[in-house]
Amino acid sequence: MSNLGFSGKSVLVTGAAGGIGRAAALAFAREGARVAIVDVDAKGGEETVGLIAQGGGDAFFFKADVSQSAQVEAMVTAVVERYGRLDCAFNNAGIEIEHLPLAESDEATFDRVMSVNVKGVWLCMKHEIRQMLKQGGGAIVNTASVAGLVGAPGMPVYAASKHAVVGMTKTASAEYGRAGIRVNSVCPGIIRTPMLERALEREPRREKNILKAHPIGRLGEAEEIANAAVWLCSDAASFVTGHQMAVDGGLTSI
Ligand SMILES: NC(=O)c1ccc[n+]([C@@H]2O[C@H](COP(=O)([O-])OP(=O)(O)OC[C@H]3O[C@@H](n4cnc5c(N)ncnc54)[C@H](O)[C@@H]3O)[C@@H](O)[C@H]2O)c1
């Protein structure tokens, strides 16, 4: 991609120690953005910084658990201290869980998933928007999922969490559109990342069905989600807000 307007901009990516977040951080850096890498995994986060530095880019790691209010607030402060402002945020950190039908899901799992996938995105948006209001605008992309658009048998709690991300995205886009802040979500199909590898290790027989669910005939790659996040954050998407972009190989079309 070129001329997307990222030169000199500062971008924050959560869950950037691996998977989709790392691919997005690298893609933002290739476009000329300065990138804050946020994750609970310091080793993976520093590796992402190293990869960006190898490509001649500017990045730093900030360790934060997105479900912890004080850490999220400190994360935004750190970006502003380092880069002067926060132009774009990709709120991508999230967790998946063992597949179980609703009646077998347990309360501790419900609380953990909601705390990272819902409270985490809410806290990130809250502190990012406060900063973006001070500077007069910005762009936010949240990682939802196809499980935020349609039901996901075996993943009732995860689906609830991702539908909540969609709801917050739509609402925030309406609340802050006039303030120059665009808010969108990207809804991946099934993507080859460490998250998927862990899920297939637990239940290898799922792979055939997962493949069948994608009309395009293959799984997605992290870079394909990264490209969508970069575009949604870019000046090329200047009239796009409140949109839930499915990047799913056609999964939700059938
Ligand atoms: N892989 C898929 O098939 C798929 C499909 C749809 C949506 N998603 C979503 O995409 C996002 C990224 O997933 P991925 O596949 O790259 O997963 P991943 O597990 O490979 O990467 C997620 C990253 O988030 C970090 N993280 C987890 N909890 C955190 C917390 N509380 N605070 C900060 N960082 C935290 C992890 O350390 C990890 O580096 C998630 O929101 C996930 O729900 C993934």
Residue 114 · residue 95 · CB < 8 Å? no
Residue 26 · residue 48 · CB < 8 Å? yes
What is the rounded (10 degree) CA torsion for 234, 9, 59, 118? -50
Which residues form the pocket of ligand 1, taking CB atoms under 6 Å from any ligand atom? 14-15, 17-21, 39-41, 44, 65-67, 92-96, 116, 120, 143, 145, 188, 190-191, 193-196
Distance 178 CA to ligand 1 centre (A): 31
pTM of the model: 0.98
Number of H helices, E strands in the chain: 9, 9
Place of tokens 């936010």: 140
Spot the catalytic one: 28, 62, 90, 158: 158
Query: Helix H segments across the chain?
Result: 19-30, 42-54, 69-83, 107-113, 120-135, 156-176, 194-202, 206-212, 222-233
Neighbours of 5 (CB within 10 A): 15
Domains of the chain, start order: 10-248 (3.40.50.720)
Residues of the chain with pLDDT under 70: 1-2
Residue 194 main-chain phi, psi, to 5 deg: -55, -30
Residue 3 pLDDT: 76
Task: Report which ligand 1 atom has the smallest distance to the Cα of 196.
Answer: 1
Residue 206 pLDDT: 87
Q: Is the dihedral of CA 44, 206, 166, 236 positive or negative?
A: positive
